[in-house]
Amino acid sequence: MKDNFKLIGITVLFVLTGLVLSFFALQESDLVIGHSCEVDGIEYVVGEEIIGYQKGHTCTCGKEGIVECIPGDVEDLQEEVSLEITGLEIEGLKFEYNYLTGITNGDASLAINPLSFKNVNILEGSLIIVLEQMQLCPEANVVSEQVGFYEYNDNVLKLYNMIKTTSGDENVSCMVQLKYTFEEFKDLNDLEIAFVDETGLYTYAPICLYDEKIYSEGDVFRNSEGLICTCQEGDLECEKLSD
């Protein structure tokens, strides 16, 4: 008889446990299903795209009932940023970026100098500026999309780039080449070139100007007076050849 009572008690316990679990499962299901986003009086279900919610972005209704937006294509992003940030320009600029190499050797110099100017010159009337910047990439041989901008005033040409990160998986250290090409850039008098990173840090190009020509770091040439000149850290050092 006692065994029967035990069996009945165990059965009742299992039934009650099942009912409790079912109740919480239904509650959770109702909560999930009940999530929606209301925008301008219109209700959107989870995962539904919300057209026109934020310019230049693709927006959808998130699982928590919150609208989630990610940047749209690069051209939209470029136009949006150039309008929002006073002084930034895109007119007359051709911007290119390329993956160079992954960083796996722990080179300490990269932490000290994560950005460097590699070449600055005038070619067929165009001002060409090439830099290398340490970034975080999604994976090997893949670089995040980015756009370039510039600002020019008081003889200082400031270069910017905005990296478009959407996945959040950019965790591979890599070196990326940035190339800025300005067609028919004529104003070379006392020109200074600086790259401005996302923290506002300025890195100036170590260039020298002479006779309307640009010389990069380490360039050697003979000036109009017959002296041999070397561009070093943005200054010209000239000396007469020894007999």
Whether residue 97 is found in the same domain as residue 173 = yes
Do 54 and 66 have their domain in common? yes
Range of the domain at 107: 75-205
How many whole angstroms separate alpha carbon 240 and alpha carbon 173? 46
* DSSP H or E run through 128: strand 126-137
Tell me whether residue 201 is in a domain: yes
* Co-location of 35 and 54 in the same domain: yes
Q: Mark whether 151 and 198 lie in a shared domain.
A: yes
Residues 190, 119, single domain; the answer is yes
Percent pLDDT > 70 in the chain is 68
Q: Which of 10, 45, 71 corresponds to the end of one domain?
A: 71
Q: In whole numbers, what is the pLDDT of the chain averaged over residues?
A: 76
Q: Check: CB of residue 56 under 8 Å from CB of residue 72.
A: yes
Q: How many domains does the chain have?
A: 3
Residue 168 within any structural domain of the chain: yes
Instruction: Give domain status of residue 12, yes or no.
Output: no
For range 98-104, the mean pLDDT: 82
Token pair listed for 152: 């020019």
Report which residue type is found at 198. E
Amino acid at the residue 133: Q
What CATH number did the domain enclosing 40 receive? 2.10.70
Indicate whether 124 and 190 sit together in one domain.
yes
Q: Determine the average pLDDT of the residues in 67-76.
A: 58
Residue 61 lies in a domain: yes
Position 18 in a domain: no
Query: Does residue 4 fall inside a structural domain?
Result: no
pLDDT 10s digits, 17-48: 555 445 444 444 443 444 688 887 888 888 88
Radius of gyration of the chain (CA): 30
The confidence band for 4, taking pLDDT boundaries of 50, 70 and 90, is: low
Shared domain for 214 and 121, answered yes or no, is no
CA separation for the pair 196, 162 (Å, rounded)? 11
Return the higher-pLDDT residue of 142 and 97.
97
Residue 7 domain-assigned?
no
Is there a single domain that holds both residue 117 and residue 177? yes
Which tens digits make up the pLDDT trace of 115-165? 999 989 888 889 999 999 998 888 888 888 889 999 998 889 999 998 887
Are residue 135 and residue 191 in the same domain, yes or no? yes
The reply to whether 16 falls in a domain is no
Out of 37, 71, 105, a domain closes at: 71
Domain check: are 122 and 64 in the same one?
A: no
Residues 200, 227 within the same domain: no
Residue closest to 227 by CA, chosen among 209, 240, 210: 240
**62 and 93 assigned to the same domain:** no
C-beta separation of 48 from 60 below 8 A: yes
- Is 60 exceeded by the pLDDT of residue 63? yes
